[in-house]
């Protein structure tokens, strides 16, 4: 075959591989949450999944989108952030509905002011407007409270970014914070497993997909010469994933007694 004919074949193949890699970057990040979402819907129990994972990903991807305005990286990474934010909101909606339906305690916690006089009566006077008690932060009773919190964070950070967008130091720091926060993705789940002394309720498929996806993502960053913050924090993320897999092995073959303070008397698993 002539060189020209071979090139005619290779160019479209390379283009297809490039499109496939871009598509994997955009949608691959949400795939690990599909089995976890299905498990929560099936069991009506969200205790094994840490909603702080959603918090970490929401913060990381909002910061990454703001970073894009200061330093235009590849568009698949931008779309990945948009898709991930939508996915995390769906996960939060499901987890909130399941947790509230299983909660025996009638007391309700909210991010913003009570919507009705009835709720105002139930809430303590000192928390009649904003409930920033760390024991209940990100453990609210309505999905709309999470949305309000996310919008508030986006508005504040967006305004600060607008003011400092001309500062290269600020932009680079913003990029580092975005990917470093995402690198800490597995830490809430790692800590939840440690508290429970068990990985029951956590989808192992999700963690395996985390590991394979983060490995692919890190290689993608390196090969496409993404900002250095992406590659460094991608490696850190892989190490955290491996630590969670070690927990799966440890708690499966060497069961340990759960810590007393991790019990959740206010919730029960639906039959």
- In a 3-state reduction of DSSP, which class is residue 268? coil
Q: What is the pLDDT of residues 41-93, one digit of tens each?
A: 998 888 878 888 899 899 999 999 999 998 887 788 889 899 999 999 999 99
Running DSSP on this structure, what letter comes out for residue 30? T
Helices (DSSP H) in 71-165: which residue ranges? Answer: 75-102, 117-122, 143-164
Sequence length of the chain is 271
Q: What is the pLDDT of residues 113-145, one digit of tens each?
A: 554 444 444 444 444 334 556 677 888 888 999
How high is the mean pLDDT of the chain?
A: 78
Please name which of 168, 149, 151 lies closest in space to residue 159, comparing C-alpha atoms. 151
């Amino acid at each position: 075959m002539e060189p020209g004919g071979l090139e005619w074949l290779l160019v479209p193949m390379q283009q297809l591989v490039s499109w496939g890699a871009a598509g994997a970057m955009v949608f691959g990040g949400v795939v690990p949450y599909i089995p976890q979402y299905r498990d929560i819907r099936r069991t009506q129990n969200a205790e094994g999944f840490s909603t702080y994972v959603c918090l970490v990903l929401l913060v990381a991807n909002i910061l990454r989108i703001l970073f894009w305005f200061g330093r235009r990286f590849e568009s698949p990474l931008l779309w990945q952030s948009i898709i991930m934010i939508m996915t995390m909101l769906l996960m939060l909606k499901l987890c909130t509905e399941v947790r509230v339906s299983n909660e025996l305690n009638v007391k309700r916690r909210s991010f913003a002011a009570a919507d009705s006089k009835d709720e105002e009566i139930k809430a303590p006077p000192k928390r009649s407007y904003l409930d920033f008690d760390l024991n209940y932060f990100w453990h609210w009773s309505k999905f709309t409270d999470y949305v309000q919190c996310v919008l508030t964070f986006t508005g504040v950070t967006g305004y600060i970014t607008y003011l400092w967008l001309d500062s290269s130091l600020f932009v680079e720091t913003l990029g580092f914070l975005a990917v470093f926060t995402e690198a800490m993705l597995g830490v809430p789940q790692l800590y939840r497993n440690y508290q429970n002394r068990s990985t029951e309720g956590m989808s192992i498929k999700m963690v395996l997909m985390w590991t394979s996806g983060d490995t692919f993502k890190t290689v993608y960053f390196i090969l496409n010469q993404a900002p250095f913050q992406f590659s460094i924090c991608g490696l850190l993320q892989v190490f955290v994933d491996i630590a969670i897999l070690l927990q799966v092995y440890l708690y499966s073959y060497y069961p340990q007694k759960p810590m007393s303070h991790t019990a959740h008397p206010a919730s029960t698993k639906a039959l």
